[in-house]
Amino acid sequence: MIASENRSAKTRNILLLGGTGEASALAQALAGRDDLAVTLSYAGRVAQPKAQPVAIRIGGFGGVAGLRDYLRAQAIDAVIDATHPFAAQMSANAVAACAEEGVPLVALERPAWQAMPADRWIDVTDLDAAAAHLAQAEPAPRNVFLAIGRLHLHHFARAPQHRYTVRLIDEPGEALPLPQVEAIIARGPFTMEGDAALLAERGIDLIVAKNSGGAGAFAKIAAARSLGLPVIMIARPAIPERAHCESVAQVIAWLDHSAPSGGVPDQRGV
């Protein structure tokens, strides 16, 4: 068989780093392609991840070294990082491991939300700054909707005067690390109307949110806008330079034009 036949017959192994709606959309879009063998990777934070039309693996790789081993053992030809914009550790590990192994990497990055004139955002740099604001600038008790997930709630223990509402995908297995906290168990997507009703019902007067971008998590921000509520908006963490796309269609175009391994030209903003 001549080399070009070999090459065209090769199925490329794609590692898709997931945990977002965009990763699920990519899995849907790529599932029917017989030139690609896609494996979607979850961290394992959610008890029952969404069913997917591609192979799934669950759990951390074991840092950069573990990811390098995985890329080699599974003969991965390209990595798509479609993790959440706040999953900075995984994204940094992917940049390092792919560079070291010469595996092409592209990130699917949703644009950040931008404040509109009707928004009352208090911009902060990170979770600690959000908690510091609540501790120092808000001495009187407030009803706070803490829309930051489960893992980082402990940061807010330094502002114990507030009553917190958190929304989680799974029942927390253990007591939440805040003195006055109530959990709502629900899985998105949510609607602006539904979130406005929830905020009003619970007498919420302040929201803490990550600037996740995208449509899926925007309902609470739109609801806050409609109710005139302030939002402590946490900026995205820094992630090392990498090629990136802003849509599923752009990632597919990248896959179709990238080399099977290594030697990919600069793809920023494709």
For residue 118, with 0-12 CB atoms within 10 Å meaning exposed, 13-18 middle and 19 or more buried, which class applies?
Answer: exposed
**Which 163-222 residues touch ligand NAP, going by CB under 6 A?**
210
Q: Which of 10, 35, 55, 60 binds ligand NAP (CB under 6 A)?
A: 60
Total length of the chain: 270
Number of residues that bind ligand NAP (CB under 6 A): 24
CA atoms within 13 A on the CB side of 139: 0
When the beta carbons of 63 and 240 are compared against ligand NAP, the nearer one is 63
Q: Is 153 in the site for ligand NAP (CB under 6 A)?
A: no
107 sits near ligand NAP (criterion: CB under 6 A) = no
Binding segment toward ligand NAP, per CB under 6 A, in 17-25, 112-120, 136-144, 153-161: 17-25
Angle between helices 21-30 and 248-257 (to 10 degrees): 50
Q: Output the CA angle 137-208-173, nearest 5 degrees.
A: 120
If binding is defined by CB under 6 A, does position 149 make contact with ligand NAP? yes
Give the contacts of 175 (CB within 8 A, at least 6 positions apart): none
Out of 13, 14, 18, 162, the residue judged to bind ligand NAP by CB under 6 A: 18
Q: In terms of CB distance, is 52 or 83 closer to ligand NAP?
A: 83
Per CB under 6 A, 113 contacts ligand NAP: no
Out of 68, 84, 110, 244, name the contact with ligand NAP by CB under 6 A: 84
Closer to ligand NAP by Cβ: residue 59 or 117: 59
Query: How many Å apart are CA 161 and CA 168, to the nearest integer?
Result: 22
Kindly report the number of other CB atoms within 10 A of residue 50's CB atom. Answer: 14
Q: Check if the beta carbon of residue 216 is closer than 8 Å to that of residue 85.
A: no
Write out the residues near ligand NAP by the rule CB under 6 A: 17-20, 41-43, 45, 60-63, 66-67, 83-84, 86-90, 93, 149, 210
